[in-house]
Structure 1
Amino acid sequence: MQTQALLFDLDGTLAASESLKGRALADTCAAFGHPVDYRRYADVMGGDWPTVTGHFFRLANLEIDLATFNEHFRPRYQQLLADEACLSPGADALLAAAQAAGVRLAVVSSAARWMVDAVLQRCGVAGRFELVISKEDVDRHKPDPAAYLLALDKLQLPASAVCVLEDSAAGLAAARAAGCRCLVLRHDFNHSHDFRSADATLHTLADALPLLA
């Protein structure tokens, strides 16, 4: 079946923001006197927020409640996004080609809505997506397929009519469990992820162009 919609994961897929999130996590730990190498975010990239923050708390030997940590993390991450967030290589070309071909566009992310909105606004692409799914829209997150199943329901499309673009093993598992074709984007934070079940591995999002025909 011809591809009728592209469903983009956000961080690390549509936007080159994974390093920024890692830096914000590390900076917040350092602000409490417990420095951590931000590159350790690669260990848990794609996981839900309690998993990610719990990993950093263990690395930093930091005992703090999540709400307090989030209060300090949010402004730091917002500043990094405002200063440095950008689309992943090839994203603009893929979005433009999809829109020209009448392919519908959606974002399906496990990130909190404020994070999603901040990235989309900073990258200037908020108006290109007819649907945005974030953490608050589902009770279960990737690798659970709930977010992708919700997107299919809202778009009123079968799984065979969409193509998912992801960058994590959890995201790939979620897309597969929803019955969707899935292309994965390689980058510096996901070298250890197993993508053998993906339909294709991309080096830039522009690599997806010939695969969508």
Structure 2
Amino acid sequence: MAIPRPTRIQAALFDFDGTLADTERLGIELDDEAYAHFGITPTQGEKNSLAGTDGLESIPALFRAHGMDVSAAEFFAHRRPSDVIYEEMPLEASPGARELMGRLRAGGTRVAVVSTTEHRLVVTALGRVGLLDLVDLVVGGDDVARHKPDPEPYARALKALGVAAHEAVAFEDSPSGVASAQAAGVHTLGYTGSSVPQDLSAADELFSSFELLDL
């Protein structure tokens, strides 16, 4: 059953990777370098399946599909660290994201970023793309015990902001993110404008651009 959109939005909770900035395309570039080391060429669908996950289960599953037993730790040992995405590689905010966040804050809505990525890297990237000054709270992957699709990241953000789930909306570009937000009781908008298309049919609403979103 769909979760209704709040009449008055008290909190807007944004995923970062693939939603506020196109980091997932850059992550796939790093993944491709590591896949080459192991001698495999995953399909685009297999690559996309890793988006929005921490890789601990999805990476071994991908390699098993290619007849190999490779742990996430082994994979990451041969992959450049993700830090370079957030600290060095070219990065821009999704079109219209800053304007939407500004309008929401001007209307009294609290703004949070809820991500599986390490807290400090999210903060660094938000600063680089010019969004940090519009964010009241960041919940990173190292701030919680359980990652998306578990509801803990969103539940933690709601508690920290002092906002009830039915007063909030979430913006997500991955099935695991949608599941996490909805499990926390939050109306979730699925962003279809990401460079890594995913099945967002479970979202309460879909939108293709922050520039066209009416909130």
Q: Percent identity over the alignment?
A: 32
Give the one of 149, 167, 174 matched to 1:143: 149
1:189 aligns with 2:196: yes
Q: Deviations over 1:178-198 (max 9, x none)?
A: 11111110134234x142x42
Matched, 1:201 2:210: no
Deviation of 1:142 after TM superposition, in Å, equals 1.3
- Please say if 1:2 is aligned against 2:8: yes
SS of corresponding position for 1:89: coil
Runs of 4+ in 1 over 6 A off after TM superposition: 59-62
Q: What do the CA deviations read for 1:27-73 (whole angstroms, capped 9, x no partner)? A: 1333x353535833212322232134324544676666544543553
Asked if the contact 2:123/2:138 (under 8 Å) is kept, the reply is no
* Residue 25, structure 1, aligned to residue 13, structure 2: no
CA distance in 1, matches of 2:200, 2:71: 32
**Kept in 2: contact 1:5–1:105 (CA 8 A):** yes
The answer to which structure has the higher helix fraction is 1
The alignment covers a number of residue pairs equal to 206
TM-score by length of structure 1 reads 0.83
Q: Is the 8 A contact 2:158 2:164 kept in 1?
A: yes
Distance 1:56 1:24 in 2: 16
Q: Does 1:48 align with 2:48?
A: no
Q: Which is worse superposed, 10-19 or 43-52?
A: 43-52
Query: C-alpha distance in 2, partners of 1:201/1:26?
Result: 29
Q: Does 1:13 align with 2:19?
A: yes
Match of 1:104 in 2: 110
Check conservation: 2:166, 2:186, Cα contact below 8 A.
yes
Determine the structure 1 residue equivalent to 2:172: 166
**AA in 2 matched with 1:15:** A
2:132 corresponds to which of 118, 126, 140: 126
What is the deviation of 1:105?
0.8
Q: Identify the residue that residue 177 of structure 1 maps to in structure 2.
A: 183
In structure 1, C-alpha distance between the alignment counterparts of 2:119 and 2:76, rounded to whole Å: 14
What is the RMSD computed on CA atoms of the aligned residues? Answer: 2.4
Deviates more, 1:122-131 or 1:35-44: 35-44
Contact 2:96–2:211, Cα closer than 8 Å, also in 1: yes
Q: Distance in 2 between matches of 1:159 and 1:25?
A: 35
Gaps of 5+ in 2: 1-6
- Given that residues 14 and 170 in structure 2 are in contact (C-alpha distance below 8 angstroms), is that contact kept between their aligned partners in structure 1? yes
1:126 deviation in Å? 2.4
TM-score by structure 2 length? 0.82
- Distance in 2 (CA, whole Å) between partners of 1:54 and 1:11 is 21
The question of whether the paired residues in 1 share the 8 Å contact of 2:119 and 2:140 is answered with: yes
2: distance between equivalents of 1:62 and 1:116? 32
Asked if structure 2 preserves the Cα contact closer than 8 Å seen for 1:36 and 1:59, the reply is no
Amino acid at match of 1:167: D
Structure 1: unaligned runs, 5 residues or longer: none
